[in-house]
């Protein structure tokens, strides 16, 4: 029989809460999602670059001191913008490669 201690359950609960606070999983999770959100000590929220931990700049200013809803919307917006740019680059690259094959 498997015995799980209350300490282990507590640690897992904290880990899940932290993960969710930092953006959690989206429907299409992967390396393409470069921005997350985190709760700060004062209870405000920050949108940050997940690979560097640096606060993201959005609209010319650092995205710190936000409400949960503003941080969520900003994070989603930044990740969608990156997804659009990446998609455009992929299409352009494919068109260039197709043109090179014809030459």
Q: Which domain holds residue 12?
A: 6-102
**C-alpha distances out from residue 78 to 12, 38, 50, 69, Å:** 29, 15, 12, 14
Has residue 94 been placed in a domain? yes
Has residue 31 been placed in a domain? yes
Has residue 92 been placed in a domain? yes
What's the start-to-end Cα distance of the chain, in Å? 68
pLDDT in tens, the chain (103 residues): 455 566 565 666 666 666 666 555 544 445 567 899 999 999 999 999 999 999 998 788 889 999 999 999 999 999 998 888 777 777 777 777 777 777 6
Has residue 30 been placed in a domain? yes
Q: What is the largest CA-CA distance in the chain?
A: 68
pTM more than 0.75 = no
Instruction: Count the domains in the chain.
Output: 1
Has residue 1 been placed in a domain? no
Has residue 36 been placed in a domain? yes
- The answer to whether 35 and 78 have CB atoms below 8 angstroms apart is yes
- The answer to whether 50 and 32 have CB atoms below 8 angstroms apart is no
Phi, psi of 69 (to 5 degrees): -65, -40
């Amino acid at each position: 029989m498997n015995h799980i201690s209350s300490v282990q359950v507590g640690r897992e609960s904290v880990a899940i809460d932290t993960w969710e606070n930092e953006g959690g999983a989206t429907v299409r999770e992967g390396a393409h999602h470069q921005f997350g959100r985190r709760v700060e000590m004062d209870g405000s929220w920050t949108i940050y670059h997940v690979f560097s931990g640096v606060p993201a700049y959005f609209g010319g200013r650092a995205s710190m001191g936000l409400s949960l809803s503003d941080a969520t919307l900003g994070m989603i917006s930044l990740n969608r913008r990156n997804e659009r740019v990446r998609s455009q680059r992929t299409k352009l690259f494919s068109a260039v490669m197709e043109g090179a094959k014809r030459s």
